[in-house]
Structure 1
Amino acid sequence: MPLTPPRQKMAGRIGALLGILLMALSLRAAVVSVPPLLGSIGPELGFDSFSTGLLAMLAPIVFAAFGLLTPRLIRWWGLEKILITAVLLAITGQLLRAAVGDVASFLLLSVITLAGYGMGNVVLPPLVKKYFPDRLAIVTSGYVTMLAVGTWMSPQFSVPLANATNWRSSIAAWALLSAIVLVPWTIQIFKDRKHPRPDTPLVNGMVAAPPAKINPWRSPVAWGLAIFLAGNSAQTYVYFTWLPPYLASQGLDTMTAGSMLALFAILGLPVSLLVPLWVPRLRNPIIAVLVFTSFWITGHLGLYLSPTQGTAIWVVFAGLGQGTFAIALLMMNLRSRTTYGSGVLSGFSQGLGYAGAAIVPMLFGMVKDATGGWSASFAMLGICIAVMLTGAVMINGPRKIEDGPDDAGVRRPLERVG
């Protein structure tokens, strides 16, 4: 009979919980706080179309690079040291780029900032698995919700902050949110030194040692999750990049088009709360994937066929489709047995997934310019759906990243989560 990890007292893990939630809240600040301010930043620093496009591509590219690098760093340094390093990089990059006077320096410091957040993306799932193996569902629900709140909060308040001060103060202010992350983790690390905890779950009262090496390049689970994440993220990046320009081109005013993007972003909240509590109860997670995929498809078709009639309804459907992203984050723990395995799966899937997604928003615009219309570009979203579903099929079974080629379909202990 499968075992569940023994319930542990929350006392002694409060610092880790606060640190995970605050880190999740700050992860998207550097990505989504700058675009609303480009009207002020661009003329002062000299941004042109090329450099603006390059800035838009930096996040997925840097996330991809550090997604692949971070698992090796985790093996050398450990999760907590990597997280502290990530936060320090993010703080440094955000503060320094607020003081520069040219585009090249701004882009370089943006890379440093995004490198920190890229490492943070990777370490969050294994940190949840390490500190809360008995409460994976509820803690994952909390941190994915904080990701959604941060995605909405940064663009919502960046412009008012800039109006009250200036754009430099506005983008530097988000470094304070990152700095706060250091407080609970400093407390937690101090506690862990006094009372060390195992990096992996307990099986029959004994620590299950992680495998000496996991090769994600030969793992169907890792490839499946990477493909799934690529198809999902490509659609999300297209919406964040192109939804306002597309709606404006169809006759909506700029303010309404911007409001539709805010609506799309905030709808990540309800699905972030629901998915981690629902999906672990399903024997076949692809059922949930199909539900949220139907939302994506309805939103895509509605916006293409009737962009100015019922616009908010179509955006709501597409926004609810973001549940597939919450599923991807949850699967990093459901498809691994150990903290180390979760880190490897997180890094590999996010690395290749973001790399695959990075090019799609650029192609979306290039195809539109080449064809003179939006039909072929929207057809690309259909390809993204097919890619995402292909990955969903590959991760639907009970196989874990630690499993060898002969282990497919074998159910082992610790597969139920709280």
Structure 2
Amino acid sequence: MSEHRPLPLWAGRTAALLGIALVALTLRQAVAAISPILGEIRVDIPISSIGVGLLGTLPPILLAASGFVAPRVARGIGLDGGILLALLLMTLGHLVRAFAPGFAVLLAGSVVALAGTGIGNVLLPPIVRRYFPDRVALLTAVYVCIVGVSTAVPAALAAPVAERIGWRFSLGMWSLTSAVALVPWLLLIVRERRRRLSDDLAAESAPTTLVARLWRSRVALSITVVFSTSTICTYAAFAWLPEILGDIAGSTPTEAGVLLAVTGIVSVPGALIAPLLVARLRNVGWLIAAGVASFVVGYLGLLLAPATLTLLWVLLIGSGSILFPVSLVLINVRTRTQGGTVALSGFSQGVAYALGALGPLIVGLLHDASGGWTLPLLFLLAVALVATVPAITLARPAFVEDQLGQSKVR
């Protein structure tokens, strides 16, 4: 990535900064707002166990699909237009879910909202690069932390709001945040048109040839492996960690729930620090290795001494999630062009979320097949160890476009 002289953070970019923060705030609301109130929803809308499972598997599936759709969206309507579309889809999806008369409409609203979420996920890294090329690491750290808030707040407020006002209001109120987030992006688009600075699609979007050839880039594959390791381990923890801790560490359901929350809390400092370290370290492989080591030692602890230092093992597993913000920064700093950033963001997130959806399923199948948690934990241990390969291959600075002979593509 080319060098950029740092500018004051607010220098002519207030709307963009506000827009990025507001988009980040919307990116997990559709995922986190429904599961805490499924009991209340099922009182009014009959939902089978299969239906509940379908709602639970939609997020990673839609996030994965959006990873491959979003670069086409950017190529068609530009980055700003893509973000605008994502916010419109999220707003519409929240409202459709709130007014759903039956399960089919509830499901359709979830698909729409999650499609918008997925597009926003993919386009936010290149948006950061476009407006803040001099502060990519800082802005990535900020928006990753805000995404964490976007996960915690809906989960915490959904049930209390549903009890006091009703589940429809609890689902629909999140449309307000995505609607408000539209304002700065509308201002940016109007400002661009007034200046007659139409989007340069060659710069903003990913050339088809570049997207199709990413499988041949060692950098792209390495970043995708790091991202995939993070998503598989994270989704597996959300789905199974409380049950694992109850069975092998003797944790009560309340204790297991608190320990799961600890994995999220401990990830916040990493989300703030890791992006800044990526920008400063000459060898980012050490940072990836630290994340891998945290996962590995945490899983080994649960295998060998689960009841002895349970909190420590959970803290280590949560600390391994630094691989997520590291991946997001690498998407920007290992590409030379906006087109390359869009392509790599879609490619890496599409593959990672697809694999992340399989993680809990594989853990469940291994548990059913073995009757215990040793085999599932060994599987997660092996997944974490795979990321030692990109820790080596990403040690030296290299760029996707250079490896694909696409450096002339803007």
Within a 5 Å distance, the mapping from 1:52-71 to structure 2 comes to 52-71=52-71
Per the alignment, residue 191 of structure 1 pairs with 191
Partners of 1:307 and 1:158 lie apart in 2 by 33
Per the alignment, residue 366 of structure 1 pairs with 365
Per the alignment, residue 96 of structure 1 pairs with 96
**Are residues 1:278 and 2:277 paired?**
yes
Worse-superposed segment, 370-379 or 123-132: 370-379
User: 1:208: Cα distance to partner?
Assistant: 8.4
Partners of 1:59 and 1:211 lie apart in 2 by 24
**Are residues 1:336 and 2:335 paired?**
yes
Partners of 1:101 and 1:76 lie apart in 2 by 34
Partners of 1:55 and 1:137 lie apart in 2 by 34
Per the alignment, residue 204 of structure 1 pairs with none
Per the alignment, residue 235 of structure 1 pairs with 233
- Asked if 2 retains the 8 angstrom alpha-carbon contact of 1:232 and 1:388, the reply is no
Worse-superposed segment, 289-298 or 391-400: 391-400
User: 1:309: Cα distance to partner?
Assistant: 4.3
SS at match of 1:5: coil
Change in CA separation of 1:155 and 1:211 when aligned onto 2, cut-off 3 Å: closer
Per the alignment, residue 269 of structure 1 pairs with 268
- Asked if 1 retains the 8 angstrom alpha-carbon contact of 2:148 and 2:268, the reply is yes
Q: Percent identity?
A: 38
Change in CA separation of 1:333 and 1:45 when aligned onto 2, cut-off 3 Å: same
Partners of 1:102 and 1:199 lie apart in 2 by 41
Q: Give the one of 224, 238, 247 matched to 1:226.
A: 224
- Give the TM-score normalised by structure 2: 0.90
Within a 5 Å distance, the mapping from 1:365-384 to structure 2 comes to 365-384=364-383
Change in CA separation of 1:58 and 1:38 when aligned onto 2, cut-off 3 Å: same
User: 1:6: Cα distance to partner?
Assistant: 3.4
Residues matched between the structures, number: 402
- Asked if 2 retains the 8 angstrom alpha-carbon contact of 1:148 and 1:272, the reply is no
Per the alignment, residue 400 of structure 2 pairs with 401
Partners of 1:101 and 1:116 lie apart in 2 by 22
Change in CA separation of 1:260 and 1:290 when aligned onto 2, cut-off 3 Å: same
Per the alignment, residue 325 of structure 2 pairs with 326
- Asked if 2 retains the 8 angstrom alpha-carbon contact of 1:225 and 1:392, the reply is no
Partners of 1:404 and 1:324 lie apart in 2 by 23
Worse-superposed segment, 9-18 or 385-394: 385-394
Partners of 1:47 and 1:224 lie apart in 2 by 41
Partners of 2:309 and 2:90 lie apart in 1 by 40
One-letter amino acid of the structure 2 residue matched with residue 257 of structure 1: A
Instruction: Compute the RMSD of aligned alpha carbons.
Output: 2.6
Worse-superposed segment, 337-346 or 158-167: 158-167
Change in CA separation of 1:35 and 1:389 when aligned onto 2, cut-off 3 Å: farther
Partners of 2:297 and 2:261 lie apart in 1 by 19
User: 1:21: Cα distance to partner?
Assistant: 1.2
User: 1:306: Cα distance to partner?
Assistant: 4.2
CA offset digits 1:212-242 (Å, max 9, x no partner): 5423233222222222211210000011111
Partners of 1:5 and 1:95 lie apart in 2 by 42
User: 1:24: Cα distance to partner?
Assistant: 1.0
Partners of 1:347 and 1:318 lie apart in 2 by 26
User: 1:68: Cα distance to partner?
Assistant: 0.8
Partners of 1:369 and 1:305 lie apart in 2 by 21
- Asked if 2 retains the 8 angstrom alpha-carbon contact of 1:100 and 1:106, the reply is yes
SS at match of 1:402: helix
Partners of 2:256 and 2:133 lie apart in 1 by 42
One-letter amino acid of the structure 2 residue matched with residue 160 of structure 1: P
Change in CA separation of 1:270 and 1:91 when aligned onto 2, cut-off 3 Å: same
- Give the TM-score normalised by structure 1: 0.89
User: 1:308: Cα distance to partner?
Assistant: 4.3
- Asked if 2 retains the 8 angstrom alpha-carbon contact of 1:149 and 1:266, the reply is no
Change in CA separation of 1:389 and 1:38 when aligned onto 2, cut-off 3 Å: farther
SS at match of 2:313: helix
Partners of 1:253 and 1:191 lie apart in 2 by 56
- Asked if 2 retains the 8 angstrom alpha-carbon contact of 1:12 and 1:191, the reply is no
Per the alignment, residue 203 of structure 1 pairs with none
SS at match of 1:110: helix
Partners of 1:117 and 1:395 lie apart in 2 by 29
Partners of 1:198 and 1:391 lie apart in 2 by 38
- Decide which structure has greater helix share: 2
Change in CA separation of 1:209 and 1:356 when aligned onto 2, cut-off 3 Å: closer
One-letter amino acid of the structure 2 residue matched with residue 357 of structure 1: G
Runs of 5+ unmatched residues, structure 1: 201-206, 413-418
Per the alignment, residue 244 of structure 1 pairs with 242
Worse-superposed segment, 15-24 or 210-219: 210-219
Partners of 2:120 and 2:205 lie apart in 1 by 22
Within a 5 Å distance, the mapping from 1:111-130 to structure 2 comes to 111-130=111-130
